[in-house]
């Protein structure tokens, strides 16, 4: 025996848009035949449709006196609501297509504090102008927090600091900016007095440094630099935020190698210097640091692709 379509499968008392469309047409024409014409149908099924709608609602929408049709109070109240519903339904396909090609949608972007000063604001402003229907959510977070959030799908992409060559597994990565490291010195440190600074002057200074766990290549590059000069750096303190590193330097805890953009943190008691390396000529240079946009590999949304197309020159 064949099971017949279970009646409540079809619609658990959900009134279809068809009925609302027909209702609005009759309400606007106050005339079943004309409304039917407008709907490209004949009058009898329209009469039935309205009857069906009234039955579903359990109330009369029109006062029909064979010769004239008038809205009841409930009917009149429903007209604007029904119209609104239909307008929203009609807008969905448009919105869908806009979402598909990245014109609309939501982008949750995380960023580390250093890009928050210059790169990101300009980028975001330009993007917003061009794509007003994309809703941008910006969250400041450290690199490790961002990577976890990406893994859980809580953000669409993140701006992180990383050193050249480091490729997080499972993530796609686009270079945004490359910058040299500079040294942050406590203002009261004797070295801050002179305008120029050589690597050899720094070798004995205690270091405030980014944890290796987060940015191994930066950590290693700094160690390699000291090593080449015959020294093992003395780490006074690790800190995971540039803000904190600068604060620690300001407190005189030590000196720190930080990306150039950290200079934006104008903090009294801290001076920044570009040190000369002793053997620059021989090809050894101050190590650099890169800011990249990372996202879960293979799931770049159209909106994200649009966003990346705005990458500053």
Between 10 and 152, name the residue whose CB sits nearer to a copy of itself. Answer: 10
Compute the Cα dihedral for 206, 211, 213, 219 and give only its sign: negative
For binding to a copy of itself (CB under 8 A), which residues are involved? 5-6, 8-11, 13-18, 20-21, 39-41, 56-59, 72-74, 76-78, 81-82, 84-86, 88-90, 92-93, 95-97, 99-100, 102, 104-106, 301-303
Least distance in angstroms from the C-beta of 295 to a copy of itself: 12
Q: Please report, as ranges, the residues that interact with DNA according to CB under 7 A.
A: 2-7, 9-11, 18, 22, 31-33, 36, 40-45, 47-52, 64-69
In angstroms, give the least distance from the CB of 173 to a copy of itself: 20
Pick the closer one to DNA by CB: 41 or 171: 41
DSSP 14: P
Cβ closest to DNA, residue 66 vs residue 152: 66
2 binds, among DNA, a copy of itself, none (CB under 5 to 8 A by kind): DNA
Closest to DNA by CB, 49 or 225: 49
Which helix (H) or strand (E) segment holds residue 92: the answer is helix 73-100
104 binds, among a copy of itself, DNA, none (CB under 5 to 8 A by kind): a copy of itself
Whole-number Å distance between alpha carbons of 13 and 142: 49
C-alpha distances out from residue 59 to 24, 36, 89, 148, Å: 16, 22, 24, 54
Report the 10 Å Cβ neighbour count for 80: 11
Q: How far apart are CA 73 and CA 60, in angstroms?
A: 9
Query: What angle (nearest 5°) sits at the alpha carbon of residue 287, between those of residues 207 and 228?
Result: 70
């Amino acid at each position: 025996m064949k099971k017949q379509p279970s009646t409540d499968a079809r619609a658990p008392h959900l009134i279809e848009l068809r009925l609302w469309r027909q209702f609005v047409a009759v309400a606007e024409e106050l005339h079943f035949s004309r409304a039917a014409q407008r709907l490209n149908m004949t009058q009898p099924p329209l009469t039935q449709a309205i009857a069906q709608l009234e039955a579903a609602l359990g109330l009369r929408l029109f006062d029909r006196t064979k010769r004239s049709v008038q809205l009841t109070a409930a009917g009149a109240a429903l007209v604007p609501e029904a119209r609104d519903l239909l307008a929203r339904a009609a807008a969905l396909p448009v919105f869908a297509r806009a979402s598909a090609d990245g014109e609309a949608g939501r982008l949750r972007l995380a960023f580390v504090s250093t890009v928050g000063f210059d790169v990101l604001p300009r980028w975001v402003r330009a993007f917003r102008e061009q794509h007003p229907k994309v809703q941008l959510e910006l969250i400041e977070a450290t690199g490790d927090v961002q990577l976890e959030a990406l893994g859980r799908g809580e953000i669409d992409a993140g701006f992180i600091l990383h050193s050249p060559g480091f490729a997080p597994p499972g993530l796609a990565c686009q270079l945004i900016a490359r910058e040299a490291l500079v040294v942050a010195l406590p203002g009261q440190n004797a070295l801050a007095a002179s305008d120029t600074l050589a690597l050899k002057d720094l070798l004995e200074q205690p270091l405030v440094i980014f944890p290796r766990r987060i940015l191994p290549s930066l950590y290693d590059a700094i160690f390699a630099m000291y090593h080449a000069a015959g020294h093992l750096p003395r780490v006074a303190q690790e800190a995971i935020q540039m803000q904190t590193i600068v604060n620690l330097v300001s407190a005189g805890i030590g000196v720190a190698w930080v990306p150039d953009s950290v200079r934006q943190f104008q903090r009294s008691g801290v001076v920044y210097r570009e040190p000369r390396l002793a053997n620059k000529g021989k090809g050894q240079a101050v190590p650099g640091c890169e800011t990249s946009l990372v996202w879960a590999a293979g799931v770049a949304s159209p909106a994200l692709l649009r966003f990346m197309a705005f990458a500053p020159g």
